[in-house]
A = this chain, B = another copy of it.
Amino acid sequence: MAALTNAIPEKTVERLSEYRRTLLACHKQGISHIFSHVLAGIHGITAVQVRRDLMLIGFSSDTKKGYDVQVLINYISNILDSPTPMNVAVLGMGHLGQAITKYFNSKGLKLRITTAFDVDPQKVGHEIDGIPCFHMDQFEKAVEERDISIVVVSSPTNVALDLVVPIINAGIRGVLNFTSTPLNFPQGIIVENYDITTLLEKVAYFVKESDSNNS
C-alpha cells in the first residue's frame, strides 16, 4: 500500500473499521456508552491501544461513563468514509464473488457493491444477488457509466493478471485482490492483495509453534 501524506497508518485504519462495527452492534443493542477497556477486550487488544488509535484521529471525549457510542460512530465515519459514496464492482462472480457481494451488501454500509463482471454467458446480462452482471468486454464503459471507483478481484487466479490493464485503463482507484496472484499497479492506484490461503497457513504455523513450545 502506497504511503500517503497525513494518512492514518494501515493498522489503525483496520482497527477503526473494526471498532466501528462493534460500536454499531452496541448501538443496535441500545448501549449508549462504552469504556475503552471494554472495547479493547472485545477486540483482544489493550485499552492503551484503543486510546492511542482514537487520539490519533483527534477523538478524546472520554466521559465517566466511557465513550458515547453514537458520537464515536459518527467521528470514525467522518474519518473513514468518503463524503460521496464509492461504488464497488466485483470481477468474477463465482462462489467467492457471490459470497463477498451477499456478505458485504447485507451490512448496510455506505460502501456498496453495485456491479459484477464475468465472462460466463449464464451470468452476463442477469442480476445476481441483486446486482447486474456485465461482460468483461464492457468493463471500461460500465465503470464510467456506473461511476465505479473500487474493484474486488475474485476471478480465477490464472486470469487475474489479464485484468491489470483494463483496471488501469478504466481509471479504477482501488483494488482488493483475493486471488493467489499478487497484482501490481502504478502509483496512485491503491491495491490490497489478500489471499485467504495466507491467513490459514499463518494460523497453522502458529498452532505448530505453540505445540512445539508446549512439548
Contacts and interface: CB of A to CB of B under 8 A. Distances in A.
Interface residues of A, number: 73
A195 B199 CA distance: 12
Interface string A6-50: 111010011001100110010000000000000001111000000
A188 B103 CA distance: 30
Contacts of A21: 180, 195, 197
A173 B18 contact: no
A152 to B, nearest CB: 7
A118 B1 CA distance: 37
A200 to B, nearest CB: 6
Contact of A109 (B150, B193, B197, B213): B197
A205 B149 CA distance: 12
Contacts of A100: 196
A204 B111 contact: yes
A21 B199 CA distance: 13
Nearest to A173: B207
Contacts of A8: 205
Interface stretch (A91-99, A119-127, A135-143, A162-170): A91-99
- Please indicate which of the listed interface residues A201, A203, A205 has the most CB atoms of chain B within 10 Å of its own CB: A203
B202 A104 contact: no
B43 A182 contact: yes
Contacts of A176: 199-200, 203
Given A18-B195, A44-B184, A95-B99, A209 B6 contact: yes
Contacts of A4: 206, 209-210, 213
A211 interface: yes
Nearest to A172: B207
Given A41-B184, A80-B201, A111-B200, 4 more contacts: A44-B184, A44-B191, A80-B204, A103-B196
12 contacts: A4-B210, A4-B213, A13-B201, A86-B204, A86-B207, A86-B208, A88-B200, A96-B99, A100-B196, A109-B197, A149-B207, A173-B207
